[in-house]
Amino acid sequence: GAVVSQHPSWVICKSGTSVKIECRSLDFQATTMFWYRQFPKQSLMLMATSNEGSKATYEQGVEKDKFLINHASLTLSTLTVTSAHPEDSSFYICSAGNMGANEKLFFGSGTQLSVL
Amino acid sequence: QKEVEQDPGPLSVPEGAIVSLNCTYSNSAFQYFMWYRQYSRKGPELLMYTYSSGNKEDGRFTAQVDKSSKYISLFIRDSQPSDSATYLCAMRGFQKLVFGTGTRLLVSP
């Protein structure tokens, strides 16, 4: 399957700082990337849909000013958690695909964020 | 009612057993059905991708879709300890992917 690279795999930061997570599609061009959040023993919760060259679409309840998403090219999307707080500690996962109706999605390896 | 229902488990089986994992759904617009495997603190890995009703086999894995019953299954033959993971079903029509909660599978040697 296609390769989606996500970095960093884990990050620890102090409360109030910002953290940037990168998601890259290595062997295909991704017109659409998705950002998910996952709490322990729970399923993936879609945060936002990112289309190359346009503003991200956020799911209800997700603060767009807190979770900044940029999809500047067909191979890179970034999620920046601004002014992080302990409640933002979670596992963040990106996925990428070309959103024709029958396209598959491939996931990055995830980023564990711990905010102290 | 959730769009996709999946028993969280855990499901414990001995090595070599046949494993059956299932999901039910309520949205008749779903046409594409997937099974992902997720190891702890890793991203989901696509295992099976099917369209419409029927069976699809890939090695020890068989995916089954019954659209009339809104029911999908994943069968794992000759299960191995390395199969121990959380298995997520996922499905969509033309919009966003909807995941089940995942079933945790434990295969003991």
Percent of chain B with pLDDT over 70: 99
* Alpha-carbon separation of residue B72 from A74, A79, A82, B57 (angstroms): 33, 33, 40, 14
CB–CB of B101 and A4 under 8 A? no
Q: Report CA torsion sign: A33, A39, A43, A46.
A: negative
Per-residue confidence band for B51, with pLDDT thresholds at 50, 70 and 90: confident
Percent of chain A with pLDDT over 70: 94
Q: Which of A47-51, A77-81, B80-84 has the lowest mean pLDDT?
A: A47-51
Per-residue confidence band for B64, with pLDDT thresholds at 50, 70 and 90: very high
**Per-residue pLDDT tens for A3-37?**
899 999 999 999 999 999 999 998 888 888 999 99
CB–CB of B94 and A101 under 8 A? yes
Distance CA A100, CA A98 (A): 6
Asked whether A35 and A47 are in contact (CB, 8 A), the reply is yes
A14 to chain B, closest Cα gap in Å: 21
Q: What is the pLDDT of residue A53?
A: 80
Neighboring chain B residues of A91 at a CB cutoff of 8 Å = 41
DSSP structural state of residue B39: -
Rg (CA), chain A: 13
Q: Which residue has the higher pLDDT, B9 or A1?
A: B9
Neighboring chain A residues of B32 at a CB cutoff of 8 Å = 101-102
DSSP letter for each residue of A34-97: EEEEE-TTS-EEEEEEEETTS--EEPTT--TTTEEEEEEETTEEEEEE-S--GGG-EEEEEEEE
How high does pLDDT run on average in chain B?
A: 93
Neighboring chain B residues of A4 at a CB cutoff of 8 Å = 43
Asked whether B35 and B75 are in contact (CB, 8 A), the reply is no
For the segment B55-66, the average pLDDT, to the nearest whole number, is 96
